[in-house]
Each structure stands twice: as C-alpha cells, then as structure tokens.
C-alpha cells in the first residue's frame, strides 16, 4: 500500500467535498486510482474524459504510481 496526495478542482472538488487529501491505495496506475475515487465519490465520468497530472506533469492514466506522488485529476472544462 502506498500513500499519495490528491488535489481536487471543479466538479471533483464538489463531489469529494474537499480540496485535497492524502489516501492510502493499492492502485498500480493513475487510472486504477481514478476508478477507486470515482466509485467512492460518485464522480460520474469515465477516466477517458479526465486528464491527470502527476508531480506537476501531465501523464497518461497508465502511469505507475509511487509513494508520495502528488496527483491532480482534471475534469473537462467548458465555458464561454
């Protein structure tokens, strides 16, 4: 099990009811972790619609996680 830090924005902040948190996870990849969080907080959107930054660098959902990683899952944004 590893501990990672999460920062939430927009819809994900609303659904998680927090700005950030540290979680312990057995997830191997960012995608695995996103699926855990989506189930826990009912994000209601598949991973294919979400971007992820790991340690301030955009990555694919298949990036492997390491203890202490800092992740930001970014939902699609629209506006005018």
Structural domain for 42, as ranges: 2-74
Confirm if 56 and 70 have CB atoms less than 8 A apart.
yes
Strand, helix or coil for residue 29: strand
Q: What is the pTM of this model?
A: 0.92
Provide the pLDDT for residue 15: 97
Total domains, the chain: 1
Provide the pLDDT for residue 76: 85
* pLDDT tens per residue, range 31-73: 999 999 999 999 999 999 999 999 999 999 999 999 999 999 9
Assigned domain for 79 exists: no
Assigned domain for 57 exists: yes
- Give me the CATH number covering residue 11: 3.10.20.30
């Amino acid at each position: 099990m590893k501990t990672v830090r999460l920062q939430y924005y927009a819809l994900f902040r609303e659904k998680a009811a927090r700005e950030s948190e540290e979680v312990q996870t057995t997830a191997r990849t960012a995608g695995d972790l996103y699926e855990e969080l989506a189930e826990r907080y009912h994000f209601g959107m598949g991973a294919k619609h979400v971007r992820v930054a790991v340690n301030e660098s955009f990555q694919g959902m298949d990036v492997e996680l390491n203890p202490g990683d800092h992740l930001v899952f970014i939902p699609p944004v629209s506006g005018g």
